[in-house]
Amino acid sequence: MPVLGSGGRFTGGAGAPHRGAWPEILADLDSLAETLIEQEGKRFLVRSAPRPAASLALRAAGVALPPTVRPLADN
Protein backbone atom coordinates (compact mmCIF):
# COMPACT_ATOMS: atom_id res chain seq x y z
CA MET A 1 0.00 0.00 0.00
CA PRO A 2 1.41 3.44 -0.86
CA VAL A 3 2.19 5.59 2.16
CA LEU A 4 2.98 9.25 2.63
CA GLY A 5 6.73 9.60 2.94
CA SER A 6 8.99 12.50 3.82
CA GLY A 7 8.58 15.56 1.65
CA GLY A 8 4.84 14.97 1.25
CA ARG A 9 5.24 12.37 -1.49
CA PHE A 10 3.53 9.02 -1.78
CA THR A 11 6.06 6.23 -1.73
CA GLY A 12 5.18 3.17 -3.69
CA GLY A 13 3.97 -0.07 -2.32
CA ALA A 14 4.05 -3.16 -4.47
CA GLY A 15 3.25 -2.21 -8.03
CA ALA A 16 2.95 1.54 -7.38
CA PRO A 17 4.46 3.14 -10.49
CA HIS A 18 3.76 6.80 -9.71
CA ARG A 19 4.58 9.30 -7.01
CA GLY A 20 2.61 12.46 -6.31
CA ALA A 21 3.34 15.57 -4.31
CA TRP A 22 0.54 17.20 -2.30
CA PRO A 23 0.19 20.28 -4.55
CA GLU A 24 -0.19 18.00 -7.57
CA ILE A 25 -2.69 15.78 -5.76
CA LEU A 26 -4.74 18.76 -4.61
CA ALA A 27 -4.72 20.31 -8.09
CA ASP A 28 -5.86 17.01 -9.59
CA LEU A 29 -8.63 16.61 -7.00
CA ASP A 30 -9.69 20.21 -7.63
CA SER A 31 -9.96 19.45 -11.36
CA LEU A 32 -12.68 16.84 -10.80
CA ALA A 33 -16.03 18.14 -12.01
CA GLU A 34 -19.62 16.99 -12.44
CA THR A 35 -22.06 18.23 -15.05
CA LEU A 36 -25.82 17.79 -15.10
CA ILE A 37 -27.13 16.88 -18.56
CA GLU A 38 -30.80 16.80 -19.46
CA GLN A 39 -31.92 15.23 -22.73
CA GLU A 40 -35.41 14.23 -23.81
CA GLY A 41 -36.68 14.55 -20.25
CA LYS A 42 -33.96 12.32 -18.82
CA ARG A 43 -31.28 13.65 -16.48
CA PHE A 44 -27.73 12.40 -16.10
CA LEU A 45 -24.83 13.40 -13.91
CA VAL A 46 -21.48 13.12 -15.74
CA ARG A 47 -18.14 13.42 -13.98
CA SER A 48 -14.69 14.08 -15.38
CA ALA A 49 -11.98 11.46 -15.30
CA PRO A 50 -9.49 11.80 -12.45
CA ARG A 51 -5.98 12.89 -13.36
CA PRO A 52 -3.08 10.58 -12.34
CA ALA A 53 -2.12 12.07 -8.95
CA ALA A 54 -5.76 12.18 -7.81
CA SER A 55 -6.29 8.62 -8.99
CA LEU A 56 -3.28 7.44 -6.98
CA ALA A 57 -4.36 9.31 -3.85
CA LEU A 58 -7.94 8.03 -4.06
CA ARG A 59 -6.72 4.47 -4.54
CA ALA A 60 -4.32 4.80 -1.58
CA ALA A 61 -7.18 6.08 0.59
CA GLY A 62 -9.50 3.27 -0.52
CA VAL A 63 -11.99 5.72 -2.05
CA ALA A 64 -13.95 4.69 -5.13
CA LEU A 65 -15.34 7.36 -7.43
CA PRO A 66 -18.92 7.02 -8.64
CA PRO A 67 -19.53 5.88 -12.24
CA THR A 68 -18.62 8.37 -14.96
CA VAL A 69 -22.26 8.64 -16.08
CA ARG A 70 -25.12 8.25 -13.61
CA PRO A 71 -28.81 8.48 -14.51
CA LEU A 72 -30.79 10.57 -12.03
CA ALA A 73 -34.23 9.58 -10.84
CA ASP A 74 -37.02 12.01 -11.72
CA ASN A 75 -37.98 14.31 -8.86
In this prediction the pTM is 0.64
Q: What pLDDT, on the 0 to 100 scale, is given for residue 7?
A: 55
Could you report the per-residue pLDDT of 1-55, keeping only the tens digit for each? 444 555 555 555 544 545 558 899 999 999 999 999 999 999 999 999 999 999 9
Render pLDDT for 46-67 as a digit per residue (tens, 0 to 9).
999 999 999 999 999 999 999 9
Strand locations in 1-75, DSSP E? 3-4, 10-11, 34-39, 42-47, 69-72
C-alpha to C-alpha distance for 44 and 54, rounded to whole angstroms: 23
How do the domains of the chain map onto residue ranges?
3-72
